[in-house]
Amino acid sequence: MNERRWSQEIQALGDRLAGLTVAAAVELADYLETVHGIAPAAVTSPVQPDPIIEPEPSPAPPTEFQVVLEGFDAARKIGVIRAVRELTGVGIKEAKELVEGTPRVFREGLSQAEADKLKALLETAGARVSVQGMAA
């Protein structure tokens, strides 16, 4: 136990303060601040350490790619339609609709090498093409 001895006056004052209601404690704080200029200390919570933030793992590089037909050079539209026909095997009407409906995914699920090769063929014909990695 605590062996320190308190004076009767301090014990009586401490016991009275401990027995105050919340309303009486607020009134006492207001009185001490107004009359004696004693402001209650700000109540602070114990300092909490910052949580350890784990960096999100970087996503694995894509293994599949898609070729997106973004547009075409208007002067070379017929060449782009021919290239699309040759690469897809569709008829002229379908190839024209595909070219005129840009931007659209031209082909997906390709390896990086296949996508780059297809992009080069389409760009040679006059198309604007991008290769995009697909989320696994």
CA distances from 24 to 17, 63, 107 (A): 9, 71, 78
Q: What is the pLDDT of residues 107-136, one digit of tens each?
A: 999 999 999 999 999 999 999 999 998 876
Please tell me the predicted confidence (pLDDT) of residue 54.
80
Contact 75, 125 (CB under 8 A): no
Write out the residue range of the structural domain in which residue 26 sits: 7-44
In a domain, 91, yes or no: yes
Contact 68, 95 (CB under 8 A): no
Please tell me the predicted confidence (pLDDT) of residue 42.
66
Residues 25 and 79 in one domain: no
In a domain, 51, yes or no: no
In a domain, 1, yes or no: no
In a domain, 125, yes or no: yes
Cα distance between residue 73 and residue 43, in whole Å: 70
Please tell me the predicted confidence (pLDDT) of residue 91.
92
Q: What is the pLDDT of residues 72-119, one digit of tens each?
A: 999 999 999 999 999 989 999 999 999 999 899 999 999 999 999 999
Six token digits for residue 99? 């070219």
In a domain, 49, yes or no: no
Radius of gyration of the chain (CA): 39
In a domain, 22, yes or no: yes
Bigger pLDDT: 91 vs 10: 91
Strand partners, 127: 72
Cα distance between residue 56 and residue 125, in whole Å: 42
Residues 37 and 88 in one domain: no
Residues 70 and 118 in one domain: yes
CATH number at residue 108: 3.30.1390.10
